[in-house]
Amino acid sequence: MVTSRHVLKRSIELASEKGASNWLSVLPLQEYNFSLHKTAFHDAVALRYGWDPARLPQHCACGTKFTVEHSFTCPKGGFPSIRHNEIRDLTASLLTEVCHEVDVEPHLQPITGEQFTLASSNIEDGARLDISANGFWGGRCEKTYIDVKVFNPHAPSNRTTSASAIYRRHELCKKRSYEARIREVEQSSFTPLIFSATGGMANEATMFYKRLASLLSDKWDSNYAAVMGWIRCCLSFSLLRSAIRCLRGSRSSKGSFGHSLGSAPIDLIQVESRLPLIKQ
């Protein structure tokens, strides 16, 4: 049986992950998209500590009893997909600054008799990943494929497992599905980006965004720590807003949106919003 004490302990552990609290460490400047309205802020604090937000509906549009856990996974309205897509679009927007031929949802080449060691390898025609980009890990023409996953750490299947083990499990699952095919057929590299809905990220995602911050800081002639802090803050707000949308959004219809990086210099954003310098 899961008690309120266990939920609070779990929530504090998740809130302690690097990047999970960035939305609390900056000034809430609306011009940089670092602000939340009153209800959203109250919901964010409640989610942070595992409390039930106030004035939630009794039943979901799908007919099921409405709970925080159910809201994160209910497909009605497409909110879990929107949560995934916002991280995808943000990452793709950042990659266009430093990479060539950035593509969203690229299709993989069809399999024509190739054999893979792992039976779990994806061999479906029409398979596609979230992003592809040239020149990220290697040379200008070396392509990298990226796939994003955001999971709910409070789901029953995850409650008794450490966050690090969940991250590793999802990373391995993605690699077993796609890595061999991308390496042997596409002649490219593969990077899974695994996030917790509470704001944390897996090891490979951490290394990916460190590399991205390094490339961006060189291009923009900006401080690496400031760029890394800004990226973490953008990811934190993206995941947080998506979680709140799952709670408060109308599930009667689906919607879509893109992501804009804005035009302010990163050093100005760092100074005005008091982004903390990230020590690596």
pLDDT tens digits along 139-193: 777 899 999 999 988 888 888 888 899 999 999 999 999 999 999 999 999 999 9
Q: Give residue 273's Cα distance to chain centre.
A: 22
pLDDT of residue 256: 44
pLDDT of residue 272: 54
Q: Please list, residue by residue across 160-181, b when 16 or more beta carbons sit within 10 angstroms of its beta carbon and e when fewer do.
A: eeebeebbeebbeebbebbbbb
CA gap 66, 59 in Å, rounded = 5
Q: Are 203 and 157 in contact (CB under 8 A)?
A: no
Q: Are 251 and 76 in contact (CB under 8 A)?
A: yes
Q: Which of 153, 197, 194 is nearest to 7 (CA)?
A: 153
| Domain boundaries defined on the chain | 78-252
Token pair belonging to 193: 């980006």
pLDDT of residue 128: 93
Please tell me the pTM assigned to this model: 0.84
Scanning the chain, the segments in alpha helix (DSSP H) are 4-15, 38-49, 68-73, 79-95, 163-184, 203-220, 224-248, 266-273
Q: Look up residue 53 and give its DSSP letter.
A: P
Q: What SS3 class is residue 261?
A: coil
Q: Phi/psi of residue 127, each to 5°?
A: -65, 145
pLDDT of residue 255: 45
Q: What SS3 class is residue 22?
A: helix
Q: Are 36 and 243 in contact (CB under 8 A)?
A: no
Token pair belonging to 261: 């990086």
Return the biggest CA–CA distance within the chain. 57
Residues of the chain where predicted confidence (pLDDT) is lower than 70: 1-3, 250-280
Which amino acid type is present at position 83? R
Residue-averaged pLDDT of the chain? 85
The C-alpha R_g of the chain, in whole angstroms, comes to: 19
CA gap 149, 239 in Å, rounded = 12
